[in-house]
Every structure is written in C-alpha cells, then in structure tokens.
Amino acid sequence: MAAAEAHRVIVYGGKGALGSKCVEYFKTKRWWVASIDIVANEEANANVLVKMSESFNEQADKVTSDVSLLLGEQKVDAILCVAGGWAGGSAKAKSLYKNCDLMLKQSVWTSIISSHLATKHLKEGGLLTLAGAKAALSGTSGMVAYGMAKASVHQLCQSLSGDNSGLPSGSAAVAILPTHVPQNKTVPKDVIMPGAGNKRQRVGQLLYRLLNVRSAVRDADLVAQQQQQANS
C-alpha cells in the first residue's frame, strides 16, 4: 500500500518567536514545513530566504519566484502568515514615519505576499491565516503605526472571503487576533517573559486543530457527494 501523502504547510515568519513554535509543532505532527523568513529555520524541511528591500515589488517577486521553484506543481494544505512586529507612538512621535514604514513591511507586505501565494499554491479547501490584532478593531492612538498596519490586515482578510478573491475553491482565509499587545517586543532580549513560549505553542496547536476540523469537513462533504452520485 502506498504511503499517505504528507501534509504540507508554509509558515511565513517561520524564524520569529511565534513562527518558530508553529514550525516546531507541525514538525511533531510529521508535516512537511517550509519557512519563509530573513533567516533560515533549521527545523524546517525547506527555507525561502527573504531579501530585505525598500521595494515591495522586488521583495514580493523574489519570494513568489523562490516559492514556485520550491513547490513546482505541488500544493500545500495551509499557508500561515505569522510575521509581524510592534511599534508604539502617537501621531506626534518623531519616529512615526519610521514606525509606519516598519509596520507596513512586517505586517502588510508579508500578508499580501502570503495571500498571493495562496492563490497559486494552496489546495482546494486549504487554509490561509493572517496575523491581525484585537487592539486594531478600534483606535490605537498610542501605537498608530501598529494599529494602522493590523487594520489593513483585517481588511485584506475580509476581502479574501469574497467569491472573487482568487483563492482556491473551498478555501478559507482567517485572521488571528491576539488579545494583548506583544509587550515582550519592548523589553531587553535577554529578559525571559514568563509563559510566552507556552502561549505561542498554543497558537500552533490551535491552527493545527483548525486544519484538522476543516479536513474532516472536507472528507464528510466528499463522502456525501459520492453517495449522492451513487444514488442518482
């Protein structure tokens, strides 16, 4: 009997704090995992390295081309975009322009690229997740750049839910909304935030369970269709 086809997932931001936990968790479930990031994740089966650039077109084209070369005709079950960052500051802050540029690159650029990759490489019935933020559901006067970027991600996710979004048939786009601002971004790197690793691990578990639920629903729908065809 032929071996079952391996499940495949792309983690955009796979070397970051949350992304590393997602890669680690899906590997324990024997999934094939590809990481997209500026630094390789040694635990991943494959890596696509992002070249830092001031040009969105240049960066997006390079990542898209490299992923196409990696996958060829193979499709993936999920694309998990967990890239992002945090920056504070009001509209009066001297760092406003710099922070806006950074937040757009870390959250919006990565989400747009992930969405386009999903139109090319996601299986029918697959899952695309983007990283939003609960705080960005309303005004964020003390962190303008962060809130603006995350609100853009929310809008993108809503647009992807439309019939003409370009995503494969039966697929879903979901934004995860953390309920707290990642304060660990503001503390020294050698300071350990209690429980942070466990919380990130739970996000990976949640995404894995969501994929299992969607897979079970697809299988049930397929069985129902086959029975209907047999009875017709």
Residues with a catalytic annotation lie at 146
Token look-up 């081309």 returns 65
Nearest to 84 by CA among 22, 173, 17: 17
Q: Which residues, in sequence order, are CB contacts of 228 under 8 Å at separation 6+? A: none
Q: Are 145 and 84 in contact (CB under 8 A)?
A: no
Structure tokens at 117: 């990759």
Which are the contacts of 179, defined by CB distance < 8 A and separation ≥ 6? 134
* Alpha carbon separation from 210 to 67, 121, 125 (Å, rounded): 24, 19, 12
Two tokens at 97? 């322009």
d(CA 66, CA 58): 12
Q: How far apart are CA 201 and CA 216, in angstroms?
A: 23
